[in-house]
Each structure stands twice: as C-alpha cells, then as structure tokens.
Amino acid sequence: MLMTGKVLRFDEVRGYGFIAPTEPGEDVFMHANDLLDEKYLYHEGSEVEFHMEMGEKGPKASQIRLIYQPSPNRLPSRPVFSDGTTAERAGAPAGEGTGAAHFRTELTELLVTSVDSLTAAQIRQVRERVVELVRAKGWLTA
C-alpha cells in the first residue's frame, strides 16, 4: 500500500529509523536498503512516500523516496546556518572559515531546500566542487 509520512528519526550510521505515517497508525520501520535517494538526505521531518508492508516485527517501509516540495527560499547574500545565524554572528571572525563537516551539512540542506529539481548525484557533485573551492580560498578551517 502506497503511503506518505514524515521521518521521525533516521540513524545514517546504523542504517535505520522510523516514519510517522500521515494516516493515523503505528510508526513504520525504515531501513537504508529501502531508500531510493542517498541516505544522507533523510532527516527528521523529511516528507517521504513509501510502500508499507507487514514485517515480522510490525509495519515496514519499502521503496522510500523523498517528496520534494518547491521551496520559497532564496539563496542568501551571505552564509546563513540552519539556526538562522550568519558566520559573523556564530562567533567566527570575518574571513575565518567553519568546519568542513558542518559546512557540508549546511550546504546540502541549502541545496535540497532551495533547488527542488536537483538530483542526489547533482547535489553531491555541486557540494564537492564548492568544498574544494572554499578550501582553496582558505575559507574552510578543517
């Protein structure tokens, strides 16, 4: 049965999590092997579409894909983190970079929410080129 819901939690390292279905009912188990998009794109609150099956331990999702919604967000004129702070307000002196892992996460989130037509492969390619550029310019500390 095709259903929709929101990711309650997903542990990328362990490869599993749970979905709260839109229809009232039990939370649905999700496993990384059943994801149709790259697993790093699945976060708490992500809207997904999936086929529900009954597993040995209860409801299980298969063929899980992200539901991309057009975003009203525009690209900011300067870096803004997901908590709304800019690099200056986050305590980083002007010209000093931020950690690579944090930057990569924020860039991925920005691309996913701002450009709904990008594929996971395109996001990966853009992200890697941007990280290379900011490292070469010395804007990234790690």
Angle at 9 between CA 97 and CA 89, to 5 degrees: 25
Tens digit of each residue's pLDDT (9 = 90 or more) over 21-61:
998 888 999 999 999 988 888 888 889 999 999 888 889 99
Please state, rounded to an integer, the average pLDDT across all residues of the chain: 78
CATH superfamily of 2-66: Nucleic acid-binding proteins (2.40.50.140)
The answer to whether residue 122 scores a pLDDT higher than 90 is no
| Extents of the domains making up the chain | 2-66, 71-142
pTM for the full model?
Answer: 0.48
pLDDT over threshold 90, residue 63: yes
Choose the weakest-confidence range: 5-9, 56-60, 112-116: 112-116
For residue 25, the one-letter residue type is: G
Q: Helix, strand, coil: what percent of the chain each, to 5?
A: 25, 30, 40
